[in-house]
């Protein structure tokens, strides 16, 4: 149950069908083994929740979205293999976010570093305050990004910029990140929460749940398979949408020039 969560707060709006997940581990929302376990529980809770069509993940407080991994704060690895497994665990749980059958938005309201940036990159869209800082400090600590940073960054921004970010450890602002596609949109600090929720609520209202689930899966898999296979998958996905009630509702709403009333069926 949401009531017994230690590191996350869940705010559900059944009317808009947008659920906000607040990572609340002061002072900088660092991630350790217990946080990963609880995040996995949150994913399970929201995966098939019919009252949630769009998920927004954000950081508690104003300082950080997440400062990344806190190995010392949880179970401390005692050898190479245990540290490998800790990294593999985080990567697999983050991957589940990208596999959820509904859009997940990272609302980056403070700095996102290392594993915190990797958490944001596992989400489908990234909305950020203008001046927040993003980066991978791992190489300055004698380690490497281990929760998808060396892989997802390439897919999002290309190999040249990914190399620069991963190999230098330098931080960039959200405004800079938006120029090469790492961040989708930036908002002024004072309007950030309002803009993010308006964005999420509009998605939940105007976009059919089944369409978003299938389209998200196709876009994610499209970068992993040859074009011909991706196109074949797309045709099957399109076929799945044809007999749905939401398809009929979407078409009628367009003809009648009114907002759609999707049911997710």
Active site amino acids: 118, 138
Residue 229: CB atoms within 10 A of its CB come to 12
On the question of a cis peptide bond just before residue 113, with omega within 30 degrees of 0, the verdict is: no
Q: Which long-range contacts (CB under 8 A, 24 or more apart) does 252-256 make?
A: none
The answer to whether 97 touches 122, Cβ cutoff 8 Å, is yes
Q: Can you list the pairs that 230-235 forms with residues at least 24 positions away whose Cβ atoms lie under 8 Å?
A: none
C-alpha span between 12 and 117 (Å, rounded): 24
* Number of CB atoms found within 10 A of residue 28's CB: 18
CA 19/CA 27 separation, integer angstroms? 23
């Amino acid at each position: 149950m949401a009531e017994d969560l230690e590191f996350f707060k869940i705010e559900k709006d059944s009317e808009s069908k947008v659920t906000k997940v607040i990572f609340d581990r002061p002072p900088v929302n660092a991630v350790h083994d217990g946080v990963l376990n609880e995040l996995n529980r949150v994913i399970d809770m929201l995966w098939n929740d019919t009252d949630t069509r769009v998920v927004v993940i954000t950081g508690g407080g104003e300082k950080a979205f997440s400062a990344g991994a806190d190995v010392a704060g949880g179970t401390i690895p005692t050898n190479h293999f245990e540290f490998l497994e800790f990294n593999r665990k985080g990567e697999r749980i983050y991957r589940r976010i990208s596999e959820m059958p509904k859009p997940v938005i990272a609302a980056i309201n403070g700095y996102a570093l290392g594993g915190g940036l990797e958490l944001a990159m596992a989400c489908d869209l990234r909305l950020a305050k203008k001046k927040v800082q993003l980066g991978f400090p791992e190489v300055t600590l004698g380690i490497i990004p281990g929760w998808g940073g060396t892989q997802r960054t390439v897919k999002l921004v290309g190999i040249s910029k990914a190399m620069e970010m991963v190999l230098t450890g330098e931080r960039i602002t959200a405004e800079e990140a938006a120029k090469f596609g790492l961040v989708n949109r930036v908002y002024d600090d004072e309007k950030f929460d309002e803009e993010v929720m308006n964005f999420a609520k509009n998605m939940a209202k105007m976009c059919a749940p089944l369409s978003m689930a299938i389209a998200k899966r196709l876009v994610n898999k499209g970068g992993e398979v040859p074009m011909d296979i991706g196109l074949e998958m797309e045709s099957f996905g399109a076929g799945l949408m044809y007999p749905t009630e939401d398809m009929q509702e979407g078409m009628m709403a367009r003809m009648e020039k009114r907002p759609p009333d999707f049911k997710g069926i």
